[in-house]
Structure formats: structure tokens, C-alpha cells
């Protein structure tokens, strides 16, 4: 009798263990790669998204975030994602243009007149959502956008006109549009991974770069570039994407939960970003001695006008550009 009880007890323990093991294996873990520090507002916003996904799916879907390019550069992450070796990544419209041409619409210089115009386009179903969906069938799907701020020049001298860029090697993202813009402005475009930029500025491999204000403090670029010239040539959104293979593994309910959490994190990020830009600008001035230079934008607009005209003549981008233009005063 005791032997039977012992056997039953062991069987029960094994059954419970198997049940726990099955429950644990039922959890879907999505690895998310990005190239920013943990203090960056995009990382904080994606962590908010991860927390929301866990709540909405009762722990069935867990997003694990790997910052600081631990799993590769943005481009490497996209290639891993398309092959199914990585689940999610934060990229931006500049780099995504090489994988899906529709993202090139966001890269046209001086396309957006102000922040309100920018957000109207991102929220517009004929622009924002349509571009996110445009890569279906190409290995990945866009989930949401994060404000990446207005990009301006920073270097060891003020840049007040295109003439000041002549002969300068300026780091750009590996985007055909970014390269073309820099050539039209008179600089020599130098594509370079973001993680290599501090050393490149320090060692004069490049003479300057272009980004938003957070690069000055979070990436410490303000230690080696003391002038931030506010020409605000582009407002290029960061984009949260998921691999098609990883998306297809989720149930419809889990897909809906992930999309909702992503969109909610975009709104969370909007307020966080505005606060961070104000704090970053003040920190760069007070602690790093960076001088912020006001710029007359018109000479830069004139220098790059051909890009706007060419985009409106491009069958892939034409409808997007015209729709964005129509949203200026709405």
C-alpha cells in the first residue's frame, strides 16, 4: 500500500512538473534590439510597451530589450530580423529606406513645417499606417513610430549656411536620401555606424554630424562637437518593427495586444520626448559648453528643393508627399 502511495505521489509530482514546464514553454519571448542607451527616451518608451504587452497577454508574450547594439548595429539587426534570427528591432526611416522604399518619404528635407504637422502625418492612415504596412511580404512589419526629433548639424564650428558645409565630411545614416541631401548642401556625406561616431569626431575622421539634441549628452558627442546649428533639416521618426516570422507565430489576439501596446507607447513617448529635449538642451549648454546657433533655414531649403520636386515625381512617393503637404494647415 505504501509503495502504491509512493508511486502515486511521484506520478503527481511529475505531472505537476510537466504542467509547469508546459506552461513555461507556452510563453513567447520576443527579443528586441536597438542602438541607444537605457537612459534614452526611446528605450524607456519601449520598456513601457514591453510592460503593456505582458499585462495585455497575461504574461503569454514577453519582450526582452537589448540596448546599446548588443545584438548588432541597426542594419545588422534588420538583416537578422528578416532571416528570423531576431524578433524585433528599433530602426528609423532613414535606414529602413534601403529595405522598403516607402520610408523614403520621411527623409525628404524640410518636408515637415513643425512638430504638429509631423504628428498629423504619423497619425494619418494614408501616410503613417500605410507606410508601416508597406513592408509586408518583405520580412518585416512596422508596428509604431517614436519621435526622433528634428535633426540639425553639430561640429566644431557653427554651420549657418550651406557654404559653411563646403569641404566638410559629415556623418550621415546609410540612406540614399541622406547622402543626396548632404551632397546638395555642399558637404561630403560619410555613412558611419552610430556607435563609431564619437571616436570619428574625436579623431577628425569626420568633421561633423547631424542628429537631434540627445546625441550631445546621451552619446557624449557634445564633448567633441561644441556647436549645434539648429537648421532642423529633417524630422525622421524612429520605427519599431517586428519580423514577419515572429509576427506570424503570435495568435491574432496576441498580435492585437502587441499593436495596441506599441501605439500606446508612441503616445507615452510623445510627452517624454518633449521633456527630454528641453532637459538635454539645458544640460548640453551648462555641463558641456555647447553653443546653440540659430539658423536662417531658407538657404538650406533652396539648396535641397530639387529633392522635394523629385519625390513628387516618384510614383512610389508621390501620393505620400502630396498627402503630407495637404496636412500642413489642418
As a residue count, the chain comes to 330
- pLDDT score at 8: 39
Provide the 10 A C-beta neighbour count for residue 271. Answer: 12
Cell of 18: 510537466
Percent with pLDDT over 70 in the chain: 92
Q: Report the chain's C-alpha Rg in angstroms.
A: 23
* H and E: helices and strands count for the chain: 14, 11
The arithmetic mean of pLDDT across residues 139-167, rounded, is 96
Cell of 68: 546599446
Provide the 10 A C-beta neighbour count for residue 208. Answer: 23
The arithmetic mean of pLDDT across residues 306-320, rounded, is 95
Exposed / middle / buried, residue 85 (Cβ in 10 Å: 0-12, 13-18, 19+): middle
Exposed / middle / buried, residue 147 (Cβ in 10 Å: 0-12, 13-18, 19+): buried
pLDDT tops 60 at residue 11:
no
Nearest-CA neighbor of 228 among 150, 157, 328, 308?
157
Which SS3 state, helix, strand or coil, does residue 55 take? helix
Backbone angles phi, psi at 251, to 5 degrees: -70, 160
Nearest-CA neighbor of 196 among 209, 184, 187, 183?
209
Do the beta carbons of residue 53 and residue 63 sit within 8 Å?
Answer: yes
Do the beta carbons of residue 273 and residue 149 sit within 8 Å?
Answer: yes
CATH match of 28-326 with 3.40.190.170 = yes
- pLDDT score at 17: 43
Tens of pLDDT, residues 203-240: 999 999 999 999 999 899 999 999 999 999 999 999 99
| Residue spans of alpha helices (H) in 84-225 | 93-96, 115-123, 130-133, 176-185, 197-202, 214-217
Question: Dihedral through CA 38, CA 43, CA 101, CA 245, nearest 10?
Answer: 100
pLDDT tops 60 at residue 263:
yes
What element of type H or E holds 321?
Answer: helix 318-326
- pLDDT score at 10: 46
Tens of pLDDT, residues 79-105: 899 888 999 999 999 889 989 999 999
Res. 75 pLDDT band, cuts 50 70 90: confident
Cell of 284: 548640453
CA 111 from chain center: how many Å?
18
- pLDDT score at 26: 63
The arithmetic mean of pLDDT across residues 258-279, rounded, is 95
Do the beta carbons of residue 284 and residue 216 sit within 8 Å?
Answer: yes
pTM of the model: 0.82
Cell of 145: 513610430
The arithmetic mean of pLDDT across residues 238-260, rounded, is 96
Amino acid at each position: 500500500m505504501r509503495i502504491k502511495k509512493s508511486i502515486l505521489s511521484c506520478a503527481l509530482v511529475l505531472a505537476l512538473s510537466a504542467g509547469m514546464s508546459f506552461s513555461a514553454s507556452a510563453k513567447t519571448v520576443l527579443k528586441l534590439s536597438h542602438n541607444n542607451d537605457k537612459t534614452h527616451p526611446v528605450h524607456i518608451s519601449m520598456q513601457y510597451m514591453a510592460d503593456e504587452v505582458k499585462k495585455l497577454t497575461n504574461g503569454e508574450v514577453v519582450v526582452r530589450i537589448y540596448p546599446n547594439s548588443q545584438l548588432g548595429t541597426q542594419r545588422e539587426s534588420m538583416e537578422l530580423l528578416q532571416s528570423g534570427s531576431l524578433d524585433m528591432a528599433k530602426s528609423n526611416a532613414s535606414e529602413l529606406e534601403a529595405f522598403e522604399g516607402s520610408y523614403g518619404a520621411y527623409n525628404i528635407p524640410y518636408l515637415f513645417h513643425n512638430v504638429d504637422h509631423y504628428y498629423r502625418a504619423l497619425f494619418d492612415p494614408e501616410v503613417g499606417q500605410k507606410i508601416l504596412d508597406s513592408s509586408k511580404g518583405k520580412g518585416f512589419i512596422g508596428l509604431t513610430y517614436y519621435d526622433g526629433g528634428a535633426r540639425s548639424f553639430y561640429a566644431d564650428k557653427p554651420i549657418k549656411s550651406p557654404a559653411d558645409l563646403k569641404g566638410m565630411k559629415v556623418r550621415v545614416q546609410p540612406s540614399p536620401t541622406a547622402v543626396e541631401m548632404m551632397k546638395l548642401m555642399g558637404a561630403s556625406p560619410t555613412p558611419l555606424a552610430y556607435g563609431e561616431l564619437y571616436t570619428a569626431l574625436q579623431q577628425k575622421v569626420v568633421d561633423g554630424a547631424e542628429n537631434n539634441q540627445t546625441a550631445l549628452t546621451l552619446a557624449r558627442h557634445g564633448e567633441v562637437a561644441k556647436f549645434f546649428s539648429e537648421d532642423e533639416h529633417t524630422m525622421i521618426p524612429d520605427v519599431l518593427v517586428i519580423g514577419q516570422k515572429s509576427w506570424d507565430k503570435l495568435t491574432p489576439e496576441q498580435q492585437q495586444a502587441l499593436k495596441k501596446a506599441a501605439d500606446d507607447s508612441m503616445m507615452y513617448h510623445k510627452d517624454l520626448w518633449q521633456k527630454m529635449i528641453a532637459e538635454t538642451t539645458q544640460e548640453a549648454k551648462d555641463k558641456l559648453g555647447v553653443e546653440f546657433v540659430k539658423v536662417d533655414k531658407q538657404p538650406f531649403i533652396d539648396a535641397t528643393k530639387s529633392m522635394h520636386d523629385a519625390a513628387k515625381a516618384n510614383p512610389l512617393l508621390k501620393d505620400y508627399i502630396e498627402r503630407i503637404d495637404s496636412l500642413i494647415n489642418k
